[in-house]
Amino acid sequence: MTKAIQHTVIIGGSSGIGLATARKLLGPDMKVTITGRNEDKLKSAWKSLGGAAEKAAFDASKPDEVRQFFERLGPFDHLVLAASGGKGLGPFPALDLSDIGSGVEEKVRPQLSCLQAALPTLNKAGSVTFISAVSAQLATPGVAGIAAINGMLLTVVPILAMELKPLRVNVVAPGVIDTPWWDFLAEEQRQALFADYAGRTPVGRIGRAEDVAAAIAFLVSNGFMTGQVLTCDGGLRFAA
Ligand SMILES: NC(=O)c1ccc[n+]([C@@H]2O[C@H](COP(=O)([O-])OP(=O)(O)OC[C@H]3O[C@@H](n4cnc5c(N)ncnc54)[C@H](OP(=O)(O)O)[C@@H]3O)[C@@H](O)[C@H]2O)c1
Instruction: Please name the amino acid found at residue 46.
Output: W
Candidate from 80, 81, 84 with most ligand 1 atoms within 8 A of CB, to mutate: 84
Kindly report the CATH number assigned to the domain that includes residue 151: 3.40.50.720
Residue 84 forms part of a structural domain: yes
Q: What is the mean pLDDT of residues 176-199?
A: 97
pLDDT tens by residue, 89-133 = 999 999 999 999 999 999 999 999 999 999 999 999 999 999 999
pLDDT band at 2; cut points 50, 70, 90: low
Which residues' Cβ are closer than 6 Å to ligand 1?
Answer: 11-18, 35-38, 41, 59-61, 82-84, 107, 110, 131, 133, 174, 176-177, 179-181
Residue 193 forms part of a structural domain: no
Residue 119 forms part of a structural domain: yes
Q: Is 183 helix (H, G, I), strand (E, B) or coil?
A: helix
Q: Domain residues for 68?
A: 6-181+208-239
Cα of 12 from ligand 1 centre, angstroms: 6
Residue 201 forms part of a structural domain: no
More confident call, 84 vs 206: 206
Which atom of ligand 1 is found nearest the CA of 62?
31
Q: What is the dihedral of CA 99, 103, 104, 106, to 10 degrees?
A: 130
How far apart CA 29 and CA 2 sit, in angstroms, is 10
- pTM higher than the cut 0.75: yes
How far apart CA 6 and CA 26 sit, in angstroms, is 10
Residue 192 forms part of a structural domain: no
Cα of 6 from ligand 1 centre, angstroms: 24
pLDDT tens by residue, 24-76 = 999 999 999 999 999 999 999 999 999 889 999 999 999 999 999 999 999 99
Alpha-carbon distance values, 63 to 30, 49, 114 (Å): 27, 28, 8
pLDDT tens by residue, 151-165 = 999 999 999 999 999
Give the Cβ contact number of residue 67 at 10 Å: 16
Give the Cβ contact number of residue 230 at 10 Å: 17
How far apart CA 238 and CA 231 sit, in angstroms, is 11
Residue 189 forms part of a structural domain: no
Residue 198 forms part of a structural domain: no
Q: What is the mean pLDDT of residues 165-186?
A: 97
Domain count for the chain, please give it: 1
Residue 78 forms part of a structural domain: yes
Q: Is the pLDDT of residue 240 over 70?
A: no
